Structure 1
Amino acid sequence: MTELRWGLLAAGTIAAHFAAGVEESKHGVLTAVAARSADRARDFAARFEIPKAYGSYEDLLADPDVDAVYVSTPHAMHKEWAIAAAEAGKHVLCEKPLTVTAAEAEEVIGAAREHDVFLMEAFMYRLHPQTRRLVELIASGAIGEVRAVDTTFSFDSNPEETARLGDPALGGGGILDVGCYCTSLARLVAQAATGQDAVEPVEVSGMAKLSRTGVDEYATGLLRLPGDILATISCGIRLAREDGIRVFGTQGQLHVPRPAWIHPLRTPGTSQIILTPSSGEPKVIEVEATQGVFAREADHVAAHVDDRQAPELTWAETLANMRTLDRWREAVGYGRPS
């Protein structure tokens, strides 16, 4: 497995989580960080003992000591800097969603292919042992044939503190910020149930409460997936709801009360999947994670960097999810102010 020297493009909260993950990883080292403010970059570098701090993204991309770049800018800037990183010959791990639209994602993937670099969308929950165990249970027929899946990721935020979430120019709204996890999970369930890769919904519909700027404050989508699996997906940035996953089959159901994307499960520890057979008592399946999810993510990139794609998050998988998000946002009237 290759040791990767990481450069961080942006120095926000999620970059701090990833930096801590690289410190915990087995095959990564923090080499540089860049921010729009040189002072902010230096403060971040001091916090994580990163050798180099840059006041511009361009300077970091020109650093020959950086092998791979983690892009955690606002959504609307992902395309620009993921492409710039690829053009600089850097491997790319880009925060979800990869871009704002599927068309933009195709451009980023084209740049990675042209410049022969690794590219992965940072859906870290897909690498968590809990998610992998859920897939195994579904694929093994533990609940019979899958018929439906419900999943929610929703929170309430202060508009003044999270202005980017309300700005359509920055890709604001719940669907892109957290609804992308719900589309990814629903599609993953269908993939495990049908044995197909990178599945897409046959039908997509939805409703949302739109803000005055036209972004979705909270939304619900309905997907008809291959195998006639129906998925109800809900998200929000201005409404606290109970997060969770439920998968319903002909012989029982699976319940994940605390999905792997929530903050407490980002560190090592135990999580649960509850299996309830059609006739029988619920069984609690405990899943142990011995490594933090961001450390796991950094090591996953290192393990597959020579393949240019990660097997669990291929480019086809990213495009299928982005096209689903496009259809959901269109269905709810994203961009049309309330």
Structure 2
Amino acid sequence: MRWGIIGVGNVTEVKSGPGFQQAERSTLVAVMRRDAEKAADYARRHGVPRWYDDADALIHDDEVDAVYVATPPDSHRDYAVRVLEAGKPVYVEKPMARTTAECEDMIAAAERTGLPLFVAYYRRAMPRFVTVKKMLDDGVIGTVHAVAVHASKPAVIDDGADAPWRVRPEVSGGGHFVDLASHTLDLLDHLLGPVTKVTGHAARFGRATLAEDVVSASFQLESGALGSGLWSYGTQEQRDEVRILGTAGSLQFSTFGQEPILLTTADGERRIEAPYPATVQLPLIQTVVDELTGHGTSPSTGRSAVRTARVVDAVLADYRAANGIALP
């Protein structure tokens, strides 16, 4: 597969971009960024043959077979639809888009063109979480009854209009909850099945942007297991913890850290080493390439990612309405 990338910002430097060169049956042949000088610099540093400062030029490059969209979420729908309508598969950064409605537009384009749409919820394929899923599927902790998520970190100092796009709802869909918690919510969908019911509350204590910075949620999974989540992005404590409780034990791990997975059963505690791969998106990129070349399937598609978008929208619905945040 010959890949092109639209939007070669920071996420493509180490996390994703090299993965298209490292995956089997895959190569990176073109990159695009609106800043021509930065596009050329990226191409030079990463050994990419061609660069563009116009997205359509890359999309319609006859030597590009598939496109990775790595821009901020407010342009995901537009670029994904354009790629699909040009007759090419698309792999889109997470969150898939700002809202469920935008995600559904992208899925409709994929169905209309008969082409694959993948989303970069790459934790689904990381060895760390493959290990967790295998233990759950093997019944190591018995039947899962409950899930608890607790994430907190100190506030990032943001300056209004100059704030990073991740905390500007008109660009990202919200704040760090949309950007970071979506990873955890999507991972739980993968590990334990879809969320069928969810309620939530959000608040804002920082005042630089309209982004929520404290969120709580209560949810139920398709299996009947219950879950709760608390995310706070303005407190002194730094925590990243997911606990899955079953009839025969529990699993504890972080979404973003590399510390060992903690398995607790009647036999005691066991710590399982589970470091990150050097290129964190490589395992998922390989599954995408495998599917596109007839060697397997990918676990992260538009259909799976839209479920996470629905959960995020449901949790933030009241907050968005109360704060006048109107998104497509």
TM value normalised by structure 1: 0.85
CA shift digits 1:220-273 (9 cap, x unpaired)? 2221223332222233554562112211112211111x43x45xx5xxxxx632
CA distance in 2, matches of 1:25, 1:81: 24
Task: After TM superposition, give the deviation of residue 48 of structure 1 in Å.
Answer: 0.5
Q: What residue in structure 2 maps to residue 298 of structure 1?
A: 285
CA distance in 1, matches of 2:239, 2:291: 35
Does the CA-based 8 Å contact 1:216-1:334 persist in structure 2?
A: no
Does the CA-based 8 Å contact 1:37-1:56 persist in structure 2?
A: no
Q: Which amino acid aligns with 1:254?
A: L
Does the CA-based 8 Å contact 2:148-2:244 persist in structure 1?
A: yes
Q: Which amino acid aligns with 2:292?
A: V
Q: What residue in structure 2 maps to residue 174 of structure 1?
A: 176
Q: What residue in structure 1 maps to residue 269 of structure 2?
A: 282
Q: Secondary structure at the match of 1:144?
A: coil
Does the CA-based 8 Å contact 2:96-2:306 persist in structure 1?
A: no
Q: Which amino acid aligns with 1:167?
A: R
- 2:146 corresponds to 1:159: no
Task: After TM superposition, give the deviation of residue 310 of structure 1 in Å.
Answer: 4.4
Aligned alpha-carbon RMSD (Å): 2.6
Does the CA-based 8 Å contact 1:153-1:178 persist in structure 2?
A: no
CA distance in 2, matches of 1:306, 1:22: 14
Q: Which amino acid aligns with 1:201?
A: T
Does the CA-based 8 Å contact 2:4-2:31 persist in structure 1?
A: yes
- 2:312 corresponds to 1:325: yes
Q: Which amino acid aligns with 1:241?
A: Q
Q: Which amino acid aligns with 1:157?
A: V
Q: Which amino acid aligns with 2:168?
A: D
CA distance in 2, matches of 1:61, 1:236: 39
Q: Secondary structure at the match of 1:202?
A: strand
Moved more, 145-154 or 318-327: 145-154
Alpha-carbon distance change, 54 to 152 in structure 1, aligned in 2, over 3 angstroms: farther
Q: Which amino acid aligns with 2:137?
A: A
CA distance in 2, matches of 1:162, 1:152: 25
CA shift digits 1:106-136 (9 cap, x unpaired)? 1101111222222111001100122122112
Q: What residue in structure 2 maps to residue 206 of structure 1?
A: 201
Does the CA-based 8 Å contact 2:84-2:113 persist in structure 1?
A: yes
CA distance in 2, matches of 1:306, 1:204: 40
Task: After TM superposition, give the deviation of residue 67 of structure 1 in Å.
Answer: 1.0
Alpha-carbon distance change, 8 to 27 in structure 1, aligned in 2, over 3 angstroms: same
CA distance in 1, matches of 2:311, 2:177: 11
Q: What residue in structure 2 maps to residue 336 of structure 1?
A: 323
**Corresponding residue to 1:224 among 220, 223, 228:** 220
Unpaired segments of 5 or more residues in structure 2?
none
Q: What residue in structure 2 maps to residue 139 of structure 1?
A: 137
Does the CA-based 8 Å contact 2:87-2:115 persist in structure 1?
A: yes
- 2:7 corresponds to 1:10: yes
Task: After TM superposition, give the deviation of residue 144 of structure 1 in Å.
Answer: 1.8
Task: After TM superposition, give the deviation of residue 335 of structure 1 in Å.
Answer: 6.3
CA distance in 2, matches of 1:207, 1:288: 32
Count the aligned residue pairs.
318
Does the CA-based 8 Å contact 1:9-1:57 persist in structure 2?
A: yes
Does the CA-based 8 Å contact 1:152-1:245 persist in structure 2?
A: yes
TM value normalised by structure 2: 0.87
Does the CA-based 8 Å contact 2:69-2:91 persist in structure 1?
A: yes
Task: After TM superposition, give the deviation of residue 69 of structure 1 in Å.
Answer: 0.9
Task: After TM superposition, give the deviation of residue 149 of structure 1 in Å.
Answer: 1.1
